[in-house]
Amino acid sequence: MIELWFAIAALMLATYVVLDGFDFGAGALHLFVAKSDQERRQVLAAIGPFWDGNEVWLLATGGVLFVAFPKVLAAGLSGFYFAIFLVLWTLILRGIAIEFRSHIEQPLWRAAWDVVFGVASALLPVLFGAALGNLLRGLPMNQEGWFSLPLFTDFTASGEVGILDWYTVLVGVFALLAIVGHGGTYLAWKTDGTVHARSRTAATWCYATVAVLWPIVTAATAAVNATLYEALSSRPLAWLALAAALGGIVSVVLGLRGHRPLQAFLGSSAFLGGLLGATAALVFPVMLRATSGDDLSLTAYNSAVPPASLRIALGWWVIAAPLAVVYFVVLFRIHRGKAIAPRQGEGY
């Protein structure tokens, strides 16, 4: 049962990254692929029906942790206090920017909210990527299972570390490029004309850089967490997830070169999901790795609630999760086809 809930938590997180990732990427790109007001409204129309619903999966991930692994959630919220507030404010500003620019007539204010939207959309993948880097590198856990981190120290990934160091920044940059590439494939699929062409070009360049950075990030991860890849030979699920990630990036290349943007977007989704799935399979059962000793790490086994509680929660999850999936399937079906920019004042 504990293994199942760990898999559910990983699935919720991967779903969030894939779904909210495309509108983060589209937002980060929109200042570059959409030059006119009409083109920018086309980008917003492409993500408008989905962006707020996509964020539900972040809440669902937190809900799974609260129900199944409350110690992990409590320690993470406490230790990453400043970073989480930064994420929350960035999410708030991003949502405000989307709504305000759609209802303001003054060009200067629209341009200002466009910048806020673009910067917030680019900052969020960096923050989430840096958070993943912290989890892989390890945290200074104490005997009670808590930790506290400054924003940065000397930028080294050992000793007295901070939230930001050379490794976590590298992972954050890698996450940004992957998410921007993901958003580029989505815009190439959902738009036409010059926005489509620019988005396709941006996705091509981003994924070319991702392909170069991937082995570099892998080697850097091995340098800061030497034991992570030791379990690879005995984790078939990790191999399957890595195969999905590799197949996904190949599909992105073939889809972009063959002018098949939907194939590229699905391949990008497989790449992100496969990469996160492989990471989850490799770190299991560790959820918060302690640099101060393996016995201080929070794992799925020492932080889970009793089995009876997990069984009760599973009964609710098997009802709620399919309903959410059906909702998103219907939503994508209703808004299939190319996005059309609405007139100013009509929202998305």
18-61 pLDDT, tens digit per residue, is: 999 999 999 999 999 998 888 899 999 999 888 888 999 999 99
| Tokens 């856990």 sit on residue | 141
In terms of phi and psi (left: phi > 0; alpha: psi -120 to 50; beta: otherwise), the region of 193 is: left
Q: What is the pLDDT of residue 343?
A: 61
More confident residue, 149 or 194: 194
Going from the C-alpha of 253 to that of each of 80, 81, 156, 234, 268, the distances in angstroms are: 36, 39, 35, 30, 9
Q: What is the DSSP string of 102-138?
A: TT---HHHHHHHHHHHHHHHHHHHHHHHHHHHHHHH-
**Calpha distance 164→151 (Å, rounded):** 6
**Calpha distance 258→162 (Å, rounded):** 44
**Calpha distance 261→300 (Å, rounded):** 39
Q: Tens digits of per-residue pLDDT, 227-262? A: 888 888 889 999 999 999 999 999 999 999 999 999
Cβ atoms within 10 Å, residue 307 = 10
Please report which confidence band the pLDDT of residue 76 belongs to, taking 50, 70 and 90 as the band edges: very high
pLDDT at 348 over 80: no
Q: What is the DSSP string of 202-255?
A: HHHHHHHHHHHHHHHHHHHHHHH-TTGGGGGGG-HHHHHHHHHHHHHHHHHHHH
Q: What is the pLDDT of residue 268?
A: 97
**Calpha distance 342→319 (Å, rounded):** 36
